[in-house]
Amino acid sequence: MYPKKEGILDQGHWEDDQDQKCTSRGTRAAQWILDIIRPSFLSRRGRQRKELMRTSWLDGLRGFAAFLVYWHHHTLWAHDASTTIFESGFGFSGKHYFASFYFIRHFFTGGHFAVAIFFVISGYVLSVKPLALIHAGEWTKLNDNLASAVFRRWPRLYLPIIGTTFVFLTLHHALGFYTPAVKWESNYRDGLWMWYAELKNFTYVFNSGGEPWFTYNPHLWTIPHELKGSVIVYTTLLAFSRCSKHARLWLQAGLVFYFIYIVDGWPCALFTCGMLLSELDLLAEKKELPRLFYRLEPYKDLIFYNLLFIGLYLGGVPSNSNNLKDLQASPGWYALSFLAPQAVFNYKAFYLFWAATFVVPSIPRIHWLKSFFETPFCQYLGRISFALYLVHGPILWVIGDRLYVAAGWVREVHVTELPGWCNILPLPKWGPYGLEVAFLLPHLILLPLTLWAAECATRLFDEPAVRFCQWLYRRTLAPVVR
């Protein structure tokens, strides 16, 4: 018997099926691309308000801090020749600017303070679940939780960085645009090799030499500290898991003291402090805080408002140099300058440590402030905060630089490298320093563009990295023996 030959009708059905499959695949691909690039306000899911959790204010705080980093970098970039004005204290060298005034300065150069807040938040969030398991005595679940967390931490931090910097590198060599912040190789092949060579050192947790910057996005210098701080949190939780409640609190406080007063480990101190704050909050929920806290409870509002005030003041520490004499010459900082310990090389880090330590626990105890960080806009910023941190730099260097030059913020290098963009549409520099019309108007384009790019990077790199890490960990687990 020979196989029956397909008739014309059968062949036609087969071709129709193939056409439908191709159309279906094409539709799915187009839908996937549309889901990536569509702004959240145009999607039904994006318009739905997420139910608030106990720690939702932390997400909003992280998002708002990421926005301060964005604004900080743009402020300094456009006013390149006047960086010391923003970074110096109010009245330093007889100069008085609104942008450097106490507390107000956070809205111009609050990126330094934001980084300290990032580290405290990370220490807090990473330890919430393990501490709950420790308090419940769930040692097997604690082991599983820490194993999963350590396994997933490196790829969760670095996969989005690998993806975004690779796209940035590829777009440069495809389009050939000029960026003053990055020194590019002459061809794509050499560029790929240099990108790999830097990336492998940048992502190595025990790397202790070379430059701390990643050439293809120098703003990401904080990420290696994130990884090191995460390792410290997880190992500390494991090491102290069998300690008594009071012993664990004292040991964590001792670690904070060690990192900030004995060695120059301010990022580690911030992570450890976040972990300590997380445990104190957990104990407060269970009404198991040390007695001292309950004695101070009648004065709670007064204490936290004062901590907020002091934290915001310290968070505005002048950072124009590492010389302590410059801090002493800044009005309002002379007496405080003597508090800086010898161990900390950059005095700024010491004051930012205490600023973040005071501000973060104050927010949930001040209702109107906590409510602000739970607003939909802050929650939105929190969702895209990591991607916003990743993409705002490249957009600033490629598009922001050109828009600022077109608006009149021209430097000598622009005359050579971007002659066609210089003063295309010069705008008036009216307004307070740092809030000039020529600086603000470009953000009508830059801010929506950056937020949209951050949304795309969140969907394309950040959220898939989280899912991939979870999938990979599950795939590597040994079978359970019963």
Structure-token match 């996969």, residue found = 159
Model-level pTM? 0.90
Identify whether 28 is part of a domain: no
Share of the chain above pLDDT 90, in %: 72
SS3 164: helix
How far is it, in rounded angstroms, from Cα 255 to Cα 187? Answer: 48
In the predicted model, is pLDDT for residue 216 greater than 90?
yes
Asked whether 275 and 124 are in contact (CB, 8 A), the reply is yes
Helix axes 266-285, 347-362, angle to 10 degrees: 20
The 10 Å Cβ neighbour count of residue 43 is 13
- pLDDT, residue 6, reads 45
Average pLDDT, stretch 276-300? 93
CA pseudo-torsion sign 294, 374, 74, 229: positive
Furthest-apart CA atoms within the chain: distance in Å? 103
Give, as one character, the DSSP assignment of residue 423. Answer: T
CA atoms within 13 Å, Cβ hemisphere of 139: 5
- pLDDT, residue 4, reads 46
In the predicted model, is pLDDT for residue 22 greater than 80?
no
How far is it, in rounded angstroms, from Cα 196 to Cα 425? Answer: 40
pLDDT digits (tens, 9 = 90+) for 111-157: 999 999 999 999 999 999 999 999 999 999 999 999 999 999 999 99
Identify whether 19 is part of a domain: no
Identify whether 279 is part of a domain: yes
pLDDT digits (tens, 9 = 90+) for 81-94: 566 788 888 988 88
- Over the range 225-246, which residues count as b (16 or more CB within 10 Å of their CB) and which as e? bbbbbbbbbbebbbebbeeeee
- pLDDT, residue 322, reads 84
Identify whether 32 is part of a domain: no
- pLDDT, residue 393, reads 95
- pLDDT, residue 15, reads 52
Number of domains in the chain: 1
Share of the chain above pLDDT 70, in %: 89
How far is it, in rounded angstroms, from Cα 32 to Cα 52? Answer: 28
pLDDT digits (tens, 9 = 90+) for 360-401: 999 999 999 999 999 999 999 999 999 999 999 999 999 999
Average pLDDT, stretch 237-258? 96
How sure is the predictor about 1, in pLDDT bands with cuts at 50, 70 and 90?
A: very low
DSSP codes, 162-207: HHHHHHHHHHHHHH----TT----SSHHHHHHHHHHHHHHHT-TT-
Identify whether 344 is part of a domain: yes
pLDDT digits (tens, 9 = 90+) for 334-358: 999 999 998 988 899 999 999 999 9
Q: What does the block give as tokens for 429?
A: 């520099």
First-last CA distance in the chain: 54
Asked whether 108 and 119 are in contact (CB, 8 A), the reply is no
Range of the domain at 137: 55-476
Identify whether 37 is part of a domain: no
Average pLDDT, stretch 450-454? 95
Structure-token match 């703003």, residue found = 219
How sure is the predictor about 23, in pLDDT bands with cuts at 50, 70 and 90?
A: low
In the predicted model, is pLDDT for residue 61 greater than 50?
yes
Identify whether 3 is part of a domain: no
In the predicted model, is pLDDT for residue 219 greater than 60?
yes
pLDDT digits (tens, 9 = 90+) for 466-480: 999 999 999 999 887
Asked whether 119 and 274 are in contact (CB, 8 A), the reply is yes
Average pLDDT, stretch 48-68? 88
In the predicted model, is pLDDT for residue 278 greater than 70?
yes
Structure-token match 């450097």, residue found = 100
Q: What is the mean pLDDT of the chain?
A: 89
How far is it, in rounded angstroms, from Cα 373 to Cα 363? Answer: 9
pLDDT digits (tens, 9 = 90+) for 298-329: 999 999 999 999 999 999 999 888 888 889 99
In the predicted model, is pLDDT for residue 5 greater than 60?
no
In the predicted model, is pLDDT for residue 414 greater than 50?
yes
How sure is the predictor about 443, in pLDDT bands with cuts at 50, 70 and 90?
A: very high
In the predicted model, is pLDDT for residue 74 greater than 60?
yes
Identify whether 330 is part of a domain: yes
In the predicted model, is pLDDT for residue 19 greater than 60?
no
